[in-house]
């Protein structure tokens, strides 16, 4: 177990009151949706559904029944067994994922800032496979694919270039069926996909309290195929959600629980991860911010409430920055967020590699995040207090004013340290003799070496042909 239970923004009494408000809002206000098959299932299981207005209200007893169906232990699978992710983390730590939806790419070799291409996405996927502390991957937005099928081309590229678990964010409701077909082809068939779901799906609310047809269709199909769901609320405080942290998190909690209820009536026992990517509205500029103090606090509060009140697996941004570059500000913002969110006890730290409020990505930032995650894991790990770790015998034997450099206790434990990957610990003269290279320069050299052995996933000729046919069919049927 890890030490992640000490940072809390509320008392037990405040949590109970907050929880009551969540249930009251679900029951008295409800949400709006327009997916008739889902609404019928909700009605049949006890929700109050008005098909004329699209308003769905969730009685507390109904919500209790659906929450009881959520599995407390589940797995996210990769195509290689070593990439299986057990929830909760067996060591009380966290998992990580790279950024989703980024449209711009900061090239580590040339410094060029450009729109993401499918070639960039292939590089990004292979890099993710090579980084030890990055656990799964969504896709970026490829600019050189047809807009109507960009998500289908992106998933196909990931399936060809990574063995890790994939997080799917559909761009249209019409593409969902093709995305499912691609997954089944890569998994070896429909039944194999159900047994080893190599991808989970994100379904998002339209804050406040609205769910488009596409959002519900994702749950309807993904849960039906045995895939886990990461139910995502994206509030912007002061814009699409209340400006106050508690109000913003209240909306996120309601939207998450509504999606979780839908998942359970579609397929009982569907694994779910409560997710909220919290933004704060900058009233001076109109921009959404990801690394402001307000956004950080809201993210931590969301994690705490969903875990303490409902015992759900949680996911939020665990890194990233508002800075448009890999600079000092960006490094401070991503490190502060990683430590706060890790210490709050979340199951997933998201957003690795992102800059510019998740609009852009950088392989350098991704490698730095990999190292930050490694450090964060070391910091929140449990401290042991048995006699060996207290060095009791060594302390009883030490001479007053003695030393521990030659101690057998030091010899036994001196390797129990977290070694840096790209951070340096050498004195200035040694650093200067080696070229005075800053962190960005060191990481760029590291990436070149790391990627020398990065290769595509080995797929059979038949699987490649089937996947290509699915993508071609999508282009023919969905592109104008």
Which pLDDT value is given to residue 226?
87
Task: With CA atoms as reference, report the closest residue to 232 among 257, 269, 265.
Answer: 257
| CA separation for the pair 5, 343 (Å, rounded) | 7
Q: How far is CA 297 from the centre of its chain?
A: 17
Give a yes or no: residue 211 inside a domain: yes
The pLDDT value recorded for residue 440 is 95
Tell me whether residue 10 is in a domain: no
Q: Read off the pTM.
A: 0.95
Where does the pLDDT of residue 44 fall: very low under 50, low under 70, confident under 90, or very high at 90 and above?
A: very high
* pLDDT band at residue 311 under the 50/70/90 scheme: very high
Q: Are residues 174 and 109 in the same domain?
A: yes
For the stretch 100-155, pLDDT in tens is 989 999 999 999 999 999 999 999 999 999 999 999 999 999 999 999 999 999 99
**Are the beta carbons of 33 and 211 closer than 8 angstroms?**
yes
The verdict on 318 and 403 lying in the same domain is no
CB–CB of 164/78 below 8 Å? yes
Q: 376 and 238 in one domain?
A: yes
Residues 245 and 297 in one domain: yes
Region 53-73 average pLDDT: 98
Could you tell me if 410 and 287 lie in one domain?
no
Is 33 among the domain residues? no
Q: What pLDDT score does 374 carry?
A: 97
Q: What is the pLDDT of residues 187-245, one digit of tens each?
A: 999 899 888 889 999 999 999 999 999 999 999 999 988 899 999 999 999 999 999 99
**250/301 Cα distance (integer angstroms):** 10
Residue 369 pLDDT: 98
Phi, psi (rounded to 5 degrees) for 347: -90, -30
Residue range 398-411, pLDDT digits in tens: 999 999 999 999 99
Distance CA 81, CA 452 (A): 24
Cα 407 from Cα 64, distance rounded (Å): 57
The reported pLDDT for the residue numbered 6 is: 57
- Does position 71 have pLDDT exceeding 50, yes or no? yes
Burial (Cβ within 10 Å: 0-12, 13-18, ≥19) of residue 94 = buried
Domain match, 258 and 355 both: yes
Q: What is the mean pLDDT of residues 266-270?
A: 97
Residue range 178-186: average pLDDT? Answer: 95
Burial 192-215 (b: 16+ CB within 10 A, else e): ebeebbbbbbbbbbbbbbebbebb
In a domain, 28, yes or no: no
Structural domain total, the chain: 2
Could you tell me if residue 360 is inside a domain? yes
Q: Are residues 287 and 413 in the same domain?
A: no
Mean pLDDT over 315-336 rounds to 95
Among the candidates 380, 408, 437, a domain finishes at 380
State whether 411 and 288 are in the same domain: no
Residue 201 maps to a domain = yes
Same domain, 112 and 144: yes
452 inside domain: no
Quote the mean pLDDT of the chain.
95
88 inside domain: yes
- Residue ranges making up the domain that contains 90: 67-380
**Is the domain of 396 the same as that of 270?**
no
Place of tokens 């993508």: 471
- Domain containing residue 271: CATH number: 3.20.20.480
* Predicted local confidence at residue 1, as pLDDT: 41
411 and 293 both lie in a single domain: no
Same domain, 272 and 327: yes
């Amino acid at each position: 177990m890890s030490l992640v239970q000490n940072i809390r923004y509320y008392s037990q009494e405040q949590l109970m009151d907050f929880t009551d408000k969540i249930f009251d809002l679900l029951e008295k206000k409800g949400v709006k949706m327009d997916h008739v098959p889902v609404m019928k299932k909700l009605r049949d299981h006890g929700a109050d559904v008005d098909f004329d207005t699209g308003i769905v209200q969730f009685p507390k007893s109904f919500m209790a029944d659906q929450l009881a169906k959520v599995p407390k232990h589940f797995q996210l699978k990769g195509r290689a067994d070593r990439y299986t992710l057990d929830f909760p983390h067996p060591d009380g730590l966290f998992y990580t994922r790279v950024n989703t939806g980024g449209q711009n790419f900061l090239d580590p070799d040339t410094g060029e800032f450009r729109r993401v291409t499918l070639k960039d996405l292939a590089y990004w996927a292979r890099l993710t496979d090579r980084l030890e502390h990055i656990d799964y991957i969504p896709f970026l937005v490829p600019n050189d694919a047809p807009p109507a099928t960009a998500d289908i081309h992106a998933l196909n590229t990931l399936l060809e270039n990574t063995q890790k678990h994939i997080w799917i964010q559909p761009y249209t409701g019409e593409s969902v069926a093709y995305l499912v077909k691609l997954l089944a082809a890569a998994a070896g068939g429909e039944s194999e996909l159900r047994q080893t779901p190599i991808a989970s799906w994100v379904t998002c609310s339209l804050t406040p309290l609205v769910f488009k047809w596409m959002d519900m269709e994702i749950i309807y199909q993904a849960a039906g195929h045995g895939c886990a769901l990461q139910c995502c609320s994206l509030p912007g405080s002061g814009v699409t959600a209340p400006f106050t942290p508690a109000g913003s998190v209240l909306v996120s909690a309601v939207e998450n629980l509504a999606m979780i209820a839908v998942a359970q009536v579609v397929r009982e026992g569907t694994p779910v991860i409560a997710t909220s990517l919290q933004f704060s509205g900058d009233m001076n500029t109109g921009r959404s911010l990801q690394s402001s103090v307000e956004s950080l606090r809201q993210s931590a509060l969301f994690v705490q409430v969903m875990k303490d009140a409902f015992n759900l697996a949680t996911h939020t941004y665990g890194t990233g920055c508002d800075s448009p570059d890999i600079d000092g500000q960006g490094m401070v913002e991503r490190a502060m967020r990683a430590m706060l969110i890790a210490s709050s006890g979340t199951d997933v730290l998201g957003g690795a590699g992102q800059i510019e409020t998740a609009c852009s990505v950088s392989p350098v930032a991704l490698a730095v995040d990999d190292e930050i995650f490694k450090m964060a894991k070391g910091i929140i790990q449990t401290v042991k207090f048995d006699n060996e770790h207290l060095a009791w015998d060594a302390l009883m034997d030490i001479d007053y004013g003695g030393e521990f450099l030659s101690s057998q206790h030091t010899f036994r434990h001196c390797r129990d340290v977290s070694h840096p990957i790209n951070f340096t610990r050498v004195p200035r003269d040694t650093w200067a003799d080696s070229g005075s290279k800053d962190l960005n320069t060191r990481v760029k050299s590291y990436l070149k070496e790391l990627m020398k052995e990065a290769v595509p996933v080995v797929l059979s000729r038949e699987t490649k042909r089937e996947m290509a046919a699915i993508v071609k069919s999508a282009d023919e049927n969905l592109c104008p």
